Amino acid sequence: MAAYAYGIGIGTRNKKGEWLEVFFPQPRLAPNDAIASCLASEVTNSEAGLNSSALKALREALARNGAEDDAALLAKLETQSDAQAGADEAGGEQALVVVYLTEDAAPANVPEAYLKLHLLSHRLVKPHETNLDGVLGVLHNVAWTKEGAIAIEELTERTLDARLQGRHLEVSCVDKFPKMTNYVVPSGVRIADTARVRLGAHVGPGTTVMHEGFINFNAGTLGTGMIEGRISAGVVVGVDSDLGGGSSTMGTLSGGGNIIISVGEQCLIGANAGVGIPLGDRCTIESGLYVTAGTKVSVRDADGASTEVVAARVLAGESDLLFRRNSQSGAVECLTNKTAVQLNDALHAHN
Amino acid sequence: MAAYAYGIGIGTRNKKGEWLEVFFPQPRLAPNDAIASCLASEVTNSEAGLNSSALKALREALARNGAEDDAALLAKLETQSDAQAGADEAGGEQALVVVYLTEDAAPANVPEAYLKLHLLSHRLVKPHETNLDGVLGVLHNVAWTKEGAIAIEELTERTLDARLQGRHLEVSCVDKFPKMTNYVVPSGVRIADTARVRLGAHVGPGTTVMHEGFINFNAGTLGTGMIEGRISAGVVVGVDSDLGGGSSTMGTLSGGGNIIISVGEQCLIGANAGVGIPLGDRCTIESGLYVTAGTKVSVRDADGASTEVVAARVLAGESDLLFRRNSQSGAVECLTNKTAVQLNDALHAHN
Amino acid sequence: MAAYAYGIGIGTRNKKGEWLEVFFPQPRLAPNDAIASCLASEVTNSEAGLNSSALKALREALARNGAEDDAALLAKLETQSDAQAGADEAGGEQALVVVYLTEDAAPANVPEAYLKLHLLSHRLVKPHETNLDGVLGVLHNVAWTKEGAIAIEELTERTLDARLQGRHLEVSCVDKFPKMTNYVVPSGVRIADTARVRLGAHVGPGTTVMHEGFINFNAGTLGTGMIEGRISAGVVVGVDSDLGGGSSTMGTLSGGGNIIISVGEQCLIGANAGVGIPLGDRCTIESGLYVTAGTKVSVRDADGASTEVVAARVLAGESDLLFRRNSQSGAVECLTNKTAVQLNDALHAHN
């Protein structure tokens, strides 16, 4: 039976009943046939609530088929089922959501989009492995406050009411994407300033994101790494690579055009440097140097001899490169550990 | 009758009775004569409270003269009038404030300064359109906490008391300026990390300020734009311009001297780039290149021929320029779509 | 009697009873003999609580020997002594801690590490003046939330429980180090985005840390300064120096190797610039230029004549230098106010 993913969650609806966000504590990929079959019959609409008999049927199917944790979660959340949805401190409404996706289609609504962002941040899928087409159009712009998600149009009144009640309504983010850490902190990571990692980021085990680091949704690291630079939407960084403070990777949403930038393993992007081409493994970019796809690069062989000047895009995906700007001639150079013959082969492979 | 602006607000006073900040939900520019006349007779001192008869007179004048919203706001806030000022959770005092400015003079006290900062962030005035002379001297350095504004000298005790009561006092900012979003979120904007936009910023409709973006007070955007770089104090960015991740604009308060930096329409400042001259429209600065006023630039005409080397300040305000550092010669170049003759005219226009 | 420091604090323990963090409102260096003697007999283990007779003995010794403030603090905190440790809103436990360090040894546990970080941020010691060997191994990775410190493994449940109770659990940081400002705001500083200054930073009086500024632990400023760039672990910046927006200092933990970077007095590191060598006084690095230890620099004397090309590391610690990249030749140059003869002496002093 075709089945992609499901999630049992609790989310916020605004006064119009629209979903602003959903928290899925335990998102699941690839449910087994028995669970999928029950989901298929009970969960007909990602945005609608389940009545008590559907909840009961689902809870029992989960418990019988190896998903005791999900059955327990559902039981815990039943107190927030549609009939009893609870008001939160921000004046919104917290309600139970169950999302079932039979296939990996573009997200059709807010709960589906949130389930997919959770799949990424729970590391159940890697960046680019789940279909996020149109996600920016599906998500609402939301005011993320210390009292939870608030619809933008309700914000002024809430801010004033909080004052009159002697409270202070801190607004930490006004965006379509919330902070990842308010939904999940995957194992083995440090994130020094959580405002800089969006839900939908994939933060590999052993990754430290320092204060100047940033990870967009559908982007991230695959394992250990020290991230003090910016991982733009769509960019993936391999194991044991470091992004220096303030370093930049070009994203597909803005400057990067349609090349998907990636960084291989054991790379080092220096502080305040930048990269606009995919890098192979063990590449280094000197601090302060921005290598765009169009940067003309003087390639040097293992003996330091110049072999050719090429646009950096020709070097995309190659390993063992060191990019620097010659501090006296001003020329951007690429040092390799290859001989001139090997280099010429590599440079002309795509002619 | 001369009348510049007014605002009905609620603010925080410290234990000495000094104003720390004021929130004006609906600041107003240019009140009509009837309202101005009532304000002139009832509001004699921006820092003092109004007695109940003055409040009543003002409320009725507002309601009679087309300012029903303000009358309603005043009614709502009367419960916080001086006699009944409420204690907030942070131990300060929330009290009603009415500020009336007959003319656009330098702000004389905290409530007046806050009204002017609100005028900017509500987009009632553009940057440089309201007199902010001496504002840094008027504002207090305040600890902005999750429980509201706290006087610095009261902070240690409050932090300890919160602990003893089982609470945690998060301090998000220690500064003269608070976050804009705790006071107003203007329509049509996204601000991914609100810590990076000060009250007094002018954020144009359609602007997205990404996590690495920043907007100081008396600065901002005029319309749509993607801001991933820093808009320093005094800098204005035109419609449809993008500031790449980590890009820098020189502010008048620090490195920029007395030239006011601006960026025209449809410009692109690349990631990790910077600009120290005013730019016209449709200008581009390559990622990673910092153009200061003194940078020597080799100007190229529409045929790519070099016409002259000039300091970048000579190019201030010109449109259709592309700045890059030649990645092989190391020279900073400016490409244009003009002929050599047009260029020479432009370059020598200010000799 | 040997005595290094002591602190009376209140801290959070997780469900296993492990210390996550400690707040010391008044950390003390060099207690007098009488107090040290009492501490030595009553405080035997930094992690253990004190019984009521020990607390009483200590309180009386403090009061008798010139530490009335500490006696008062202890009295205030006795309500949180071990027998009565209070549950905080985050579900952890707040308990009294007294730490006594006879000598400046490596921190052996969380309370000792926190006391040392407090010594730095209270400006009782300067960076590098207290032994922090192994501190990263001692500290736990903690989820810092609006409800206080939470053990990572307890976070998911707490987040869900908060939702079910209509609250929202904002997680601002997942790190071994908390924000400094939740523990201390030293006098005379502004910190526009507190997420960017770790406990253990030394922020000199008169320092403003703007939104793009950053200060790591065991690093900081000694006096007035405008910090809009990043002060990496171990880096010290002298009085009256400015770090421009997005500027970088190489830290000893990452790219800087084993040279300890420092910046002297009256220096200016331009926006988006960077430095990988120790700088003397009155040095300037042009905006956008990254000077690493290996950067080849063309040194110019007071007449602008080139004297020699050297690696920047040779210039470490020299004063009155201006680094720039020649915007036409692309060469990194160092201008000085010295004659060629003086320069040659200086450059070859370490041969």
Instruction: Encode A241-274 in three state secondary structure.
Output: EEECCCCEECCCCCCCCCCCCEECCCCEECCCCE
- Predicted local confidence at residue A255, as pLDDT: 47
Of C11, C6, C34, residue with least CA distance to C21: C11
ipTM of the complex: 0.94
A212 is catalytic: no
Which of B97, B118, B327 is the best residue to mutate to test the A interface, defined by the most A CB atoms within 10 Å of its own CB?
B327
> Which chains lie within 8 Å of chain C at 3 or more CB pairs, if any?
A, B
pLDDT in tens, B229-278: 999 999 999 999 999 999 999 976 544 456 789 999 999 999 999 999 99
* Dihedral sign (CA A327, A328, A334, A337): negative
- Predicted local confidence at residue B264, as pLDDT: 98
Of A155, A163, A271, A153, residue with least CA distance to A212: A271
Mean pLDDT check: name the lowest of B62-71, B75-84, C65-74. Answer: B75-84
Mean pLDDT check: name the lowest of B22-36, C33-47, C173-187, C310-324. Answer: C33-47
| CA atoms within 13 A of residue A268's CA, in its CB half-sphere | 11
Domains and CATH numbers, chain A: 5-135 (3.30.70.2010), 180-347 (2.160.10.10)
Q: Which two tokens stand for residue C172?
A: 């601002």
Instruction: Tabulate helix, strand, coil % of chain B (nearest 5).
Output: 25, 30, 50
| A255-to-A166, A183, A251, A252, B70 alpha-carbon distances in Å | 45, 29, 6, 7, 45
Rounded percentage of chain B residues whose pLDDT exceeds 70? 93
Is the pLDDT at C256 greater than 50, yes or no?
no
- Predicted local confidence at residue C82, as pLDDT: 56
In this structure, are residues C187 and C222 in contact, taking their beta carbons and an 8 Å threshold? no
**Four-CA torsion B146, B152, B158, B160, nearest 10 degrees:** 110
Residue type, B180: M
Q: Residue B148: list chain A partners with CB under 8 A.
A: 167-168
SS3 for C38-103, per residue?
Answer: HHHHHCCCCCCCCCHHHHHHHHHHHHHCCCHHHHHHHHHHHHHCHHHCEECCCCCEEEEEEEEECC
pLDDT in tens, A164-214: 988 999 999 999 999 999 999 999 999 999 999 999 999 999 999 999 999
Mean pLDDT across chain A, nearest whole number? 92
Rounded-to-integer distance, Cα A333 and Cα C191, Å = 40
* Cβ within 8 Å, pair B332-C329: no
* Cβ within 8 Å, pair B190-A167: no
Q: What single-letter DSSP state applies at residue B106?
A: P
In chain B, the residue whose alpha carbon lies closest to the alpha carbon of C225 is: B254
Confidence band, pLDDT 50/70/90 cuts, at residue B78: confident
Number of neighbouring beta carbons within 10 Å of residue A79: 12
Shortest distance between the Cα of B89 and any Cα of chain A, in A, equals: 6
pLDDT in tens, B83-109: 556 666 656 688 999 999 999 999 999
* Cβ within 8 Å, pair A190-C166: no
Q: Which of B76, B79, B246 sits opposite A246 (nearest CB)?
A: B246
Q: Which of A167, A174, A273 sits opposite B189 (nearest CB)?
A: A174
Is the pLDDT at B314 greater than 70, yes or no?
yes
Residue A223: exposure state from Cβ atoms within 10 A (0-12, 13-18, ≥19): middle
Q: What single-letter DSSP state applies at residue C142?
A: E
> Which chains lie within 8 Å of chain B at 3 or more CB pairs, if any?
A, C
* Cβ within 8 Å, pair C87-B141: no
In this structure, are residues A146 and A172 in contact, taking their beta carbons and an 8 Å threshold? yes
Residue written as tokens 């004033």? Answer: A160
- Predicted local confidence at residue A304, as pLDDT: 87
Shortest distance between the Cα of B234 and any Cα of chain A, in A, equals: 24
Q: Residue B182: list chain A partners with CB under 8 A.
A: 159, 168-171
pLDDT in tens, C322-336: 999 999 999 999 999
Is the pLDDT at B27 greater than 90, yes or no?
yes
Rounded-to-integer distance, Cα B182 and Cα A156, Å = 9
Q: What is the mean pLDDT of residues A259-264?
A: 90
In chain B, the residue whose alpha carbon lies closest to the alpha carbon of A292 is: B287
Is the pLDDT at B202 greater than 60, yes or no?
yes
Q: Which two tokens stand for residue C20?
A: 């996550």
Can you count the helices (H) and strands (E) in chain B?
Answer: 7, 27
Rounded-to-integer distance, Cα B299 and Cα B310, Å = 7
Q: What is the mean pLDDT of residues B188-213?
A: 98
pLDDT in tens, A107-135: 999 999 999 999 999 999 999 999 999 99
* Cβ within 8 Å, pair B296-C194: no
- Predicted local confidence at residue B2, as pLDDT: 74
| A293-to-A232, A296, A343, C79 alpha-carbon distances in Å | 16, 9, 18, 64
| A65-to-A5, A51, A291 alpha-carbon distances in Å | 16, 21, 53
Number of neighbouring beta carbons within 10 Å of residue A349: 9
- Predicted local confidence at residue A256, as pLDDT: 46
Strands A86-87 and A93-101: antiparallel
| A34-to-A9, B93, C254 alpha-carbon distances in Å | 20, 60, 51
Is the pLDDT at C86 greater than 90, yes or no?
no
A and C: number of Cβ contacts within 8 A: 147
Is the pLDDT at B57 greater than 50, yes or no?
yes
Q: What is the mean pLDDT of residues B73-84?
A: 77
Shortest distance between the Cα of A30 and any Cα of chain C, in A, equals: 22
Active site residues of B: 228
Q: How many residues does chain C have?
A: 351
Model's pTM, two decimal places? 0.96
In this structure, are residues A216 and A203 in contact, taking their beta carbons and an 8 Å threshold? no
Confidence band, pLDDT 50/70/90 cuts, at residue C105: very high
In chain C, the residue whose alpha carbon lies closest to the alpha carbon of A245 is: C248
In this structure, are residues C4 and C103 in contact, taking their beta carbons and an 8 Å threshold? yes
**Four-CA torsion B176, B181, B185, B191, nearest 10 degrees:** 110
Confidence band, pLDDT 50/70/90 cuts, at residue C321: very high
What sections of chain C are H helices per DSSP? 33-42, 52-64, 68-77, 110-121, 135-138, 152-164, 340-348
* Cβ within 8 Å, pair A331-B327: yes
* Angle between helices C33-42 and C52-64 in degrees, nearest 10: 180
Shortest distance between the Cα of A335 and any Cα of chain B, in A, equals: 15
Beta bridge mates, B230 = B214, B248
